[in-house]
A = this chain, B = another copy of it.
Amino acid sequence: MNTFGNKFRVSVFGESHADVVGVLLDGVPAGLSLTVEDFKSDLDRRRADVKGTTPRREEDVPTILSGVLEGYTTGAPVAITFANLEAHSEDYASFRDCPRPGHADFAASRKFWDFNDLRGGGHFSGRMTLALVAAGVVAKKIADFSYAARLVEVGGQSDSTSWDAAISAAQKEGDSLGGVVECVVGGVPVGLGEPFFDSVEAVISHLVFSIPGVRGIEFGDGFKASSMKGSQHNDPIMDAEGHTAKNGAGGVNGGLSNGNDIVFRVAFKPTSSIAKAQNTYNFVSGKIETLTCKGRHDACFALRTPVVVEACAAIAFANFIL
């Protein structure tokens, strides 16, 4: 189902090439200041009109349909929509016969049959992350912590001076790159989360794996922790607030926030839609064919994801804190 959360409840709707992408937020406390301007900064970070991002240019101005009166939330559900103004749908019809590698085309055709909206990825599109970012803006007002996510790797390179060249090279080849985002949440009080099943890690990872293209997530020392000894990974508590020496646990013990920054990293795959020729199976002819994705795509959509990752963290914490 397209809903997450039991206290701050986020429901997404819309498709990439339908009239709108939208989000419905329930559990928003009355009296939060909320205007269209509040969304601009995070939405702009998602648009990221730089090299390596899609040439599709949408205004992405939110329309607040309900739940806000004279600049303040009323306590009723907040519905927000974004118009899809720049959709060009002629490119997608052939994917019904020849599903794109790395896309949901084939699996969705088995789940929803011919009724699935393939246009621009439909409900599976990365454009749905608009809804997450909008939810995140409200969530950050509820769980009023510091959120800082940033790209730490592009195409396997951690040196950011090399990224521009790598992206240019990939674009030239009609290819794409992935990346890794690190997110740090500061100011989280001790004891949020549940031992079973709603640990801080469980809820954040549940949300993060809703972002299209995520392949992995790790907290604190992450996968490296598995090759450390207990005496190396364990983290001495240093003071009465629970601060530890090195935060190898990424701010979570036993599923609960422990008073340190929450730190996690998310691996994004390279964009699936590439101009470079790829093989795929043609379900009509029964033969393997060569496919080229024209459309308008990000060469490295990971560039646009840090603010989406922040939104997921904020949605998680809004649920924990309410």
Contact = CB atoms under 8 A, between A and B. Distances in A.
A3 B9 contact: yes
Nearest to A297: B230
Copies of this chain per assembly: 4
- Bin chain A's interface residue count: 35 or more
A2 B28 CA distance: 11
Given A13-B77, A65-B18, A116-B74, A215 B221 contact: yes
Given A229-B176, A258-B106, A65 B210 contact: no
Contacts of A236: 101, 278-281, 288
7 contacts: A4-B196, A69-B119, A124-B255, A155-B229, A215-B225, A216-B225, A223-B223
A209 interface: yes
B215 A123 contact: no
A209 B201 contact: yes
A254 B221 contact: no
Interface of A: 1-4, 6, 9-15, 18-20, 22, 24, 26-27, 30-31, 65-67, 69, 72-79, 81, 99, 101-104, 106-108, 110-113, 115-117, 119, 122-124, 128, 153, 155-156, 170, 173, 175-180, 190-191, 194-199, 201-203, 205-207, 209-210, 212, 214-223, 225-240, 242, 244-245, 249-250, 253-259, 267-274, 276, 278-281, 283, 286, 288, 302
